[in-house]
Amino acid sequence: MQHTTIQEQAVDWAIRLHDGDLTAAERQALDEWVSENPEHAAALERARRLLGDTGSLLVADPGFTRRQLRRGRTGGIPTVTILLASLIGGGLFVSLDGLIWLKADVTSAASETPVITLTDGSRVHLNGKSAIAEHFSAGERRIELLKGEAYFDVTEDVDRPFIVQAGGGEVKVTGTAFDVNLVDGGTEVAVTQHGVVVTGRDEMQSVRVEAGEAVFYDTAGAIGSVETLPADLAAPWRSGRLVFERQRLASVAAQIFRHIPGRVVVARPSIANKRISGSFDLSNPADALASFGEVFNVRIVRAGDLLTIIY
């Protein structure tokens, strides 16, 4: 009997054990299967140990689990092991997102891009899976970008500056339009009208960014150089496109998943850190994801709306 067949049978038994008590006939069949070969008992123990507390998630789609086992190994990493490890680790990420949603005043779900009018008349266009908190006072208009990306069209008020706090820095304006994007490793700011002042955590470091320009600062607040940005590349998501140049593959995947339910995990660092450039149509996110896999020669498996693994 081939090793892959033993794996498949072991997972099948593990799922059935997890799903409830076996009948007497099923219990006898399991006992006979285990006693046939020492490898059977070891495979069952591995499958049950891997399922663990994540079993309920995989039982919801046992066919997916079995199909991943049939694929065997890719690059030396068992796909099902990646899946299970990601699900286990996902508990932490879910709890962290939970804190964000509790803190937020406005949120958007996957593929939602709502436009919100603030109390001062300014408008905020949220990308998918994004969240903001509003902190307005008599002296300032402060918005905290907690997650994702937002485009701000700010009503002018010279007496009350408008400040967007995001990642390791903040953007200060009196009245203008600009995009703020929380990406892997930092924050991107792109200006479409007038100008803004970007300040890192160290208030001694700040730069002015004019219309048609963009700047990136990292999570520590260190600000990079100001770069010229073509008008059509400032917040292209508002027109249904994702445009990127020499970005990490993991960061681009995360931005695609602002329009697709569930989480994405890039399984191997060598793939996650690959620098890529391109453009995708986000009007059909599923097709964009499929094209992404083909163009950049990566394999993609999905567990419904729960999890997607790129490897």
Listing DSSP states for 224-287 in one string gives: ---EE--GGGSSGGGGTEEEEEEEEHHHHHHHHTTSSSSEEEE--HHHHT-EEEEEEETTSHHH
User: Who wins on pLDDT, 223 or 30?
Assistant: 223
pLDDT digits (tens, 9 = 90+) for 144-192: 999 999 999 999 999 999 999 999 999 999 889 999 999 988 999 999 9
Among residues 173, 149, 150, the alpha carbon closest in space to that of 161 is found at: 173
- Judged against a pLDDT cut of 70, whether residue 64 lies above it is answered with no
Q: How much is the pLDDT for 47?
A: 64
Quick one: average pLDDT of 63-92?
A: 46
- Judged against a pLDDT cut of 70, whether residue 84 lies above it is answered with no
Quick one: average pLDDT of 279-306?
A: 87
The least confident of 118-122, 176-180, 230-234, 256-260 is: 230-234
Q: How much is the pLDDT for 48?
A: 64
pLDDT band at 101 (very low <50, low <70, confident <90, very high): confident
Q: Where in the chain is the domain with CATH 2.60.120.1440?
A: 105-231
Euclidean distance between CA atoms 131 and 105, whole angstroms: 8
Beta strands 307-310 and 263-266 are parallel
Residue 125's SS3 state is: strand
Q: How much is the pLDDT for 302?
A: 79
Residue 308's SS3 state is: strand
Quick one: average pLDDT of 114-132?
A: 96
Quick one: average pLDDT of 252-258?
A: 94
204 is written with which tokens? Answer: 């001694």
The CATH fold assigned to 105-231 is Jelly Rolls (2.60.120)
Quick one: average pLDDT of 224-237?
A: 86
Listing DSSP states for 56-97 in one string gives: HHHHTSHHHHHHHHHT-EETTEEHHHHHHHHHHHHHHHHHHH
